[in-house]
């Protein structure tokens, strides 16, 4: 692997890392109490990953949107004692000073100059208006600037301001979102994005006033569709409800593709169809992409994290021996990521028509069909 690991070159001077790499790197910065700044496009999950890091450190998050703060929100209210004026801190600052928290300041580059000057002091000295942050409080900030700053109406951060932070440009992979979405979006939306990855988000130039898909908007659409009982209510209602609903969240092109996908969704083969019921007749006419999509579902459902039943092993063997070599190798790889008992059980098994899985593996690896 190259020295920059899981990273993407954004230009001559910027390198972006994915979320998994950031989660591994961030604790080392936090260990020396240095402020962290995340830069990246809107809707990619910057806030979500900060909350994930905080959860890993067992720290509560105190979040403030800097773009909506005034000087009073930052400093608190003044009080006098004779000729001496002091500041009564706002609740969020008092909490960050009295106990260890992750202090998350979002949209810092949209804040007023006065608020940014106050944040400058906070990130530089961990003090503001006579208040000192708790020794174990960590500062995180997020902006839409950096390489993508020209697309947004934000104020550029000058060199002195940036120098107060440890700056990470983040560009999450599709797998980052799919891993997160396993437990956070509906299965139909997950399946659609997994099989139509170009529709996850728009990464090019944005036309004014045009709606585009983003990682955030797919989550919002999924929440709406789940509330509407998705396939049962939305798809069967008249007037193209699904299309119009989806286009409001993810734009015209993605909505068209999703509408077509959901029209055929009931006919798709599920993990349960194959493993529990042995229903593989529908897969006989499939191409490699269809098989790989089903195997992705198996991995996402964590089906093989525990030993499967004898019936499931038999059904899996029946399916395995029908797969093209590339798909069978993918399934074997997915199986190997789970409980080793499943690998052993499948290797020893044979299909209902007598084809040994072990021999199928040899054929797959050697290309010997004799």
Concatenated DSSP letters of 318-352: HHHTTS-HHHHHHHHHHHHTS-HHHHHHHHH-B-T
- Residues 192 and 294 both lie in one domain: no
| Longest CA–CA separation in the chain, Å | 98
- Residues 276 and 258 both lie in one domain: no
User: What CA–CA distance (Å, rounded) separates 101 from 135?
Assistant: 10
Burial state string for 77-97 with b = 16 or more CB within 10 A and e = fewer than 16: eeeeeeeeeebebbebbebbb
Q: Which of 66, 339, 44 is nearest to 201 (CA)?
A: 44
Beta bridge partners, 170, equal 17
Q: What is the DSSP letter of 356?
A: B
Helices 46-56 + 19-30 axis angle, to 10: 50
Tokens of 107: 């949209």
- Residues 131 and 71 both lie in one domain: yes
286 φ/ψ sector (left φ>0, alpha ψ -120 to 50, else beta) = beta
Res. 11: pLDDT tops 60: no
Let me know if residue 160 belongs to a domain: yes
In the block, residue with structure tokens 């003090």? 127
Residue 8 pLDDT: 47
Q: Nearest-5° angle of CA 348, CA 350, CA 356?
A: 85
Let me know if residue 1 belongs to a domain: no
Q: pTM score, two decimals? A: 0.69
| Residue pair 45/177 in contact by the 8 Å Cβ criterion | yes
| Residue pair 164/142 in contact by the 8 Å Cβ criterion | no
- Residues 66 and 198 both lie in one domain: no
User: What CA–CA distance (Å, rounded) separates 113 from 243?
Assistant: 43
- Residues 54 and 114 both lie in one domain: yes
| Residue pair 16/171 in contact by the 8 Å Cβ criterion | yes
Query: Terminal CA-to-CA distance of the chain, rounded, Å?
Result: 38
What length is written for the chain?
370
Tokens of 188: 């139909």
Greatest mean pLDDT among 66-75, 89-98, 228-237 lies in 89-98
Neighbours of 63 (CB within 10 A): 17
- Residues 210 and 345 both lie in one domain: no
Let me know if residue 313 belongs to a domain: yes
- Please state the rounded mean pLDDT for residues 56-64: 96
Res. 99: pLDDT tops 90: yes
Let me know if residue 2 belongs to a domain: no
- Residues 92 and 138 both lie in one domain: yes
The last residue of a domain, from among 250, 267, 284: 267
The secondary structure of the chain in percent helix, strand, coil, rounded to multiples of 5, reads: 55, 15, 35
Residue 71 pLDDT: 87
Res. 92: pLDDT tops 90: yes
Confidence of residue 7 (pLDDT cuts 50, 70, 90): very low
- Residues 137 and 246 both lie in one domain: no
- Please state the rounded mean pLDDT for residues 323-337: 90
Residue 282 pLDDT: 82
61-75, 106-120, 150-164, 176-190: least confidently modelled range: 150-164
Let me know if residue 125 belongs to a domain: yes
In total, how many domains does the chain have? 3
12-16, 141-145, 240-244, 338-342: least confidently modelled range: 12-16
User: What CA–CA distance (Å, rounded) separates 359 from 196?
Assistant: 34
Per the structure, the complete domain to which residue 344 belongs is given by 271-366
| Residue pair 44/14 in contact by the 8 Å Cβ criterion | no
The last residue of a domain, from among 267, 288, 315: 267
């Amino acid at each position: 692997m190259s020295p920059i690991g899981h990273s993407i070159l954004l230009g001559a001077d910027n390198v972006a890392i994915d979320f998994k790499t950031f989660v591994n790197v961030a604790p080392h910065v936090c260990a020396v109490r240095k402020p962290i700044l995340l830069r990246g496009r809107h809707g990619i999950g910057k806030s979500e990953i900060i909350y994930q890091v905080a959860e890993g450190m067992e720290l509560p998050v105190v979040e403030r949107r800097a773009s909506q703060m005034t000087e009073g929100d930052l400093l608190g209210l003044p009080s006098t004692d004779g000729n001496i004026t002091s500041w009564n801190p706002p609740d969020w600052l008092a909490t960050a000073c009295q106990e260890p928290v992750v202090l998350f300041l979002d949209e810092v580059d949209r804040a007023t100059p006065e608020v940014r000057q106050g944040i400058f002091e906070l990130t530089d000295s961990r003090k503001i208006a006579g208040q000192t942050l708790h020794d174990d409080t960590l500062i995180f900030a997020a902006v839409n600037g950096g390489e993508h700053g020209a697309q947004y109406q934000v104020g550029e951060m000058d060199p002195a301001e940036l120098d107060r932070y440890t700056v990470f440009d983040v560009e999450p992979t599709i797998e980052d979102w799919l891993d997160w979405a396993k437990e956070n979006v509906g299965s139909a939306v997950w399946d659609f994005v997994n099989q139509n990855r170009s529709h996850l988000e728009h990464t090019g130039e944005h036309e004014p006033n045009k709606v585009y898909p983003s990682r955030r908007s797919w989550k919002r659409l999924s929440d709406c569709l789940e509330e509407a009982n998705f396939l049962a209510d939305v798809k069967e209602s008249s007037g193209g409800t699904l299309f119009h609903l989806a286009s409001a969240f993810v734009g015209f092109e993605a909505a068209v593709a999703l509408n077509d996908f959901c029209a055929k969704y009931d006919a798709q083969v599920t993990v349960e169809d194959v493993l529990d019921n042995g229903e593989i007749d529908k897969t006989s006419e499939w191409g490699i992409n269809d098989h790989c999509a089903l195997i992705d579902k198996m991995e996402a459902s964590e089906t093989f994290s525990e030993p499967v039943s004898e019936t499931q092993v038999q059904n899996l063997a029946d399916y395995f021996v029908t797969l093209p070599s590339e798909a069978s190798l993918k399934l074997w790889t997915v199986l190997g990521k789970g409980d080793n008992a499943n690998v052993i059980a499948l290797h020893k098994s044979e299909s209902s028509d007598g084809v040994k899985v072990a021999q199928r593996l040899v054929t797959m690896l050697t290309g010997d069909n004799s």
